[in-house]
Structure 1
Amino acid sequence: MHPPLAPHQHQSCIKYIQALEECHRSGFFNKYFGGCNDLKLKLNECLRAERIARRDENRAKARAKRAKIREIWKEMEEPPMDEAPTA
Structure 2
Amino acid sequence: MHPPLTLHRHPMCAEIIELFQKCHMDHPYGKFVGEYTDIKIKLDKCFRQEKAVKRKANFEESKKLKQRLQAYRKETGET
Q: Which amino acid aligns with 1:24?
A: H
The equivalent residue for 1:2 is 2
5+ long unaligned stretches in structure 2: none
The equivalent residue for 2:50 is 50
Kindly indicate which of the two structures has a greater share of residues assigned to helix. 2
TM-score computed with the length of structure 2 as normaliser: 0.90
Q: Which amino acid aligns with 2:42?
A: K
RMSD in angstroms over aligned alpha carbons? Answer: 1.3
**Offset at residue 30 of structure 1 (A):** 1.6
The equivalent residue for 1:14 is 14
Among the aligned pairs, what percent are the same residue?
A: 32
Q: Which amino acid aligns with 2:36?
A: C
TM-score computed with the length of structure 1 as normaliser: 0.83
5+ long unaligned stretches in structure 1: 79-87
8 Å CA contact 1:7–1:14 kept in 2: the answer is yes
**Offset at residue 28 of structure 1 (A):** 3.7
Question: May I ask how many residue pairs the two structures share in their alignment?
Answer: 78
SS at match of 2:67: helix
**Offset at residue 46 of structure 1 (A):** 0.5
Note the 1:1-87 alignment, pairs <5 A. Answer: 1-77=1-77
**Offset at residue 26 of structure 1 (A):** 2.1
Larger radius of gyration: 1
SS at match of 1:2: coil
| Relative contact order, higher structure (CA 8 A, sep 6+) | 2
Cα distance in 1, alignment partners of residues 25 and 31 from structure 2: 8
